[in-house]
Structures are given as structure tokens and as C-alpha cells.
Amino acid sequence: MVGCSMGDMARTDSTAVSPPAWGVQHTLCLPTEDAARQAAAELAAGGHRLVAIRAHDHFRSDPSSFWYGKPSLDPELAGWWQVFSLAVHSGHDRRALEPFLRHEHIRIAGVARSRGGFHQGCAEGHAATLQQVFTRDGLVHERATAEVAPPVPLPADPAPPALGPRWTGPASAEPHRPEDVVRAVVAVAERMYGSAEDAPDAVGWLLGEDFAFGEPYETTGAFLGDLADAVAHQGDCTDDTVDAVPFLAELASDGAIPPAVRVIVLGDLLRLASTGASLAVFTADRVAALGDVWQEPAGVQMTRRAIGRALPRLLARWDEEGDAARFVLAALAATAAPEGVGTHLVRRLKDLPAPAGSPRADTVALIAALLDDDERGLGAALHRLASWRPALAEQTATPHAAARQVAVAVLPALVMEDVGPAVHP
């Protein structure tokens, strides 16, 4: 199945050829067959070309299926039903459709939510391809030429406000040579653990001499990307991640590590600390539909707590750090600080270069509301952010995600996109 890649930009001259029709296949999970049929009928009435419903794990009871007899990946959904639908949109390239498709995703998630279910996900690609591979078992609606026509004119995303002033400090005139950065990181490991090989399992293999110096990295970013992936492969927090947190914290506070690199490592810690909130927002509708209570996975919780334990030492460097590092540190404190740690930073936020009306000012307001545990301020900050960052609309659309969870989930992207130009010259 074709993934969620952008289509080619359409030509705009007199010989312009319309881009191929774009398709989106949605999957909804509903608690009963009746609810599934109702949702299927609503999607068909809205112009979806193909709609099928099947009992969850349908193919595990089909002797001709690869999945026959295999254990369920979602045993908690036993007795539930799924709706699969294909919506086709023509006349526009994928990039132009982005605001409309975002609205459609929100709307269709609401269709499932209103019937006690949840939107399980979607796949995108050329409509002809998706129609050809659509599984027709349980097909209940088919209209060969049906399309969901976008409005005219197409909605457009608002332009973001002008960026705040440039960050000072983290970048130098010349990029840091990757071999120098690797050696500095290895030196930290040797100081902490006696040798690089004795570093925590998640990073020890990365710092071994054969790996680090056998085939030199072309860029510092490539090395730091491998380091981040080694600590939490595909964002998965494990016991190895917990063990590696003190090492990352040491890198983030070691004066021998270039300032730009330390800012990036602080950003890695920020992303790790926000993992639980991101999962909570992503699964909010599912958890509510199943009548469950959100529980942070053990590895994620232990990682966040390990970062919290490292925070006092990191925050002690506040006066020595540049503005970009302070910005990330404040976000980290707002995300992972134990109770009572970091609240003193609220008054220091005014020292950051964040002029009123800039995107950075909205992010700083979000950080301040989190540090102060200010629900009203949190709502106001999220509202302002959503006015120029429309992707936030999907995360705030569900009533089942708490505002604090949403704020923590979006904070790493807001912060690191802002400091990115300074740390990646």
C-alpha cells in the first residue's frame, strides 16, 4: 500500500494536467455491529467510495488467511467491529489538500467517537492503487465514481507569525567536526564509567573505538541522530533508556561538549520526557472507548523520573547557559520536573528573547503555564498556538485528552523547531 507521501505539485500553465486522484483509507473501531453499520452509512452518505465492516480479528477465523489461528494483537477488542472506508479526492495535489484532509481526519474521528468508538488510523496514496488493494470482505457500500469533493476554494493554513530574534551562543562560524564531537562524548563516557565500552548498553556499542573511528561520521548531526536512536529506538523507552539518562544529562552539562551539541542533547531529553504525554494524547479516544484509565508505560515513566532526578543539576547551569539552552531547559523543567523543582524559572522566562506576538512568545507562555500549573493560562496559550499552528487542531479535537497532556506532547516540536536554525547552521 502506498504510504503517506506527498503527490507531485500540479502544473499551473494552460497545459496543466490534473494530478492523480488522491485516496485516504480510514479505519474505525466500534463496540457493536450496529454502531459499525451506522458509521459506515454516514461515511457512504458523505461520498466515500468503498465501505466495508468486519468483526475485529475477522481473518483470524478464516482458514484461507495468513492470520488464521494466530493470537490477536488487540485482545481487548474482542467482540468489537471495524469499519474500513476509502475516500477519493481529485483535482488537487496532496500538498494543497493538507488543510482539508486534516479537517476530514478530525471529522471522521468524531464519527467514531460519537458512537462509542475511535479512529484507528489511515493510509494514503493514489486512489487507483488504494481502490485496487482495498479488501472487500464485508463490503456494505460501493459507489464506483463517488468522491469527497473539497470545498471551493480549498482551505489554506494560516501563515505563522514572524520568527523571534536569532538565538545567540549555540552556533559557531564553523560547524564542529564530527570526529571532535565523538571524542568529546567518548571522554565523558570514560570519565563516568571508566571506559566507553562500560557505558550503558544503549550507548556503549556506539562509542566503541571500532565503531566511532572506523568509519568517521560525515556530519555531527549523523552521530547525534545515531545516539538518540540508540537511547530510544523509534522512541521506545526501555530499561536501557533509563540507564542512559544520566549519561545524556552529563553530555548536556559538560563544558567540553560544544554548546550547539548540548542544546541538541537537551532536546533529546525533552522528547524522552514528553513520550508519555504524546502516547496519552494519541490513544485518548481508544482508552476512553474501552472504559480504561490511561496508565503511563513503566519504561516511559521511569525515563521521565530519571530525567527529573537529573534536572536540578542541569538547572543549576542556567546562568552559564545561552538563551537557546535556557529555552530548552525551561521546557524540560515544565515537562519532567518533580513537584517544586523549576517553578522559580517562571520569573526568569522574561529574560528570553521572545517579543510579544512571536511564535516564541506563545511557546514561552505555554511553558510558564505548565510550570505554574495554570489551567486558564494553558488553555489560552494552546488557543493562540492553534491559530497559527493548525496541526495542533487534531490533538485538541478530542475531549478525552487533558490540556496539560496536549501541551507537553507538542512542546518538543515547538521548542526544537525554534532553536533548530541556531544549532544546525
Pick from 65, 56, 61, 44: nearest CA to 139: 44
- DSSP three-state, residue 187: helix
d(CA 263, CA 282): 27
Tell me what pLDDT residue 309 has.
Answer: 95
Measured over the CA atoms of residue 402, residue 404, residue 409 and residue 413, the dihedral's sign is: positive
Concatenating the DSSP letter of every residue in 279-319 gives HHHHTHHHHHHTT------HHHHHHHHHHHHHHHHHHTTGG
Q: What letters, b where the CB count within 10 A reaches 16 and e where it falls short, cover 172-208? A: eeeebebeebbebbbebbeebbeebeebbebbbebbe
Q: Where in the chain is the domain with CATH 3.30.70?
A: 22-142
Tell me what pLDDT residue 209 has.
Answer: 56
d(CA 370, CA 403): 10
CB 178 within 8 Å of CB 189: no
Tell me what pLDDT residue 211 has.
Answer: 56
Pick from 332, 379, 330, 321: nearest CA to 354: 330
Pick from 362, 363, 327, 366: nearest CA to 348: 327
Tell me what pLDDT residue 4 has.
Answer: 43
Ranges assigned E (strand) in 56-164: 81-89, 118-126, 139-142
Grid coordinates in use for 387? 491559530
Grid coordinates in use for 248? 545524556
Q: Does domain 22-142 have CATH number 3.30.70?
A: yes
H helix or E strand, kind and range, residue 51? strand 50-55
Tell me what pLDDT residue 11 has.
Answer: 38
Burial of 277 (0-12, 13-18, 19+ CB in 10 A): buried
Tell me what pLDDT residue 2 has.
Answer: 33
Cis preceding linkage at 153, omega within 30 = yes
d(CA 300, CA 7): 36
d(CA 414, CA 359): 9
Degrees (nearest 5) of the Cα angle 277, 283, 285? 120
As a whole number of Å, the CA-based R_g of the chain is 24
Phi, psi of 89 (to 5 degrees): -130, 125
Concatenating the DSSP letter of every residue in 375-393 gives HHHHHHHHHHHHHH-TTHH
53 forms beta bridges with: 83
Q: What letters, b where the CB count within 10 A reaches 16 and e where it falls short, cover 382-412? A: bebbbeebbebeebbbbebbbbbbbbbbbbb
CB 324 within 8 Å of CB 423: yes
In this structure, which long-range contacts are made by residues 368-375, counting pairs with CB atoms below 8 Å and at least 24 apart in sequence? 369/407, 370/334, 370/335, 370/404, 370/407, 370/408, 370/411, 371/330, 371/333, 371/334, 371/337, 371/342, 371/343, 371/345, 371/346, 372/343, 372/346, 375/403, 375/404
pTM: 0.89
CA 153 distance to own-chain centroid: 30
Tell me what pLDDT residue 170 has.
Answer: 62
Average pLDDT, 10 consecutive residues per value, the chain (425 residues):
38 61 98 98 98 95 87 94 98 94 96 97 96 96 96 89 77 66 89 86 72 68 88 90 95 91 95 96 96 94 96 92 94 89 86 90 95 93 92 89 95 93 75
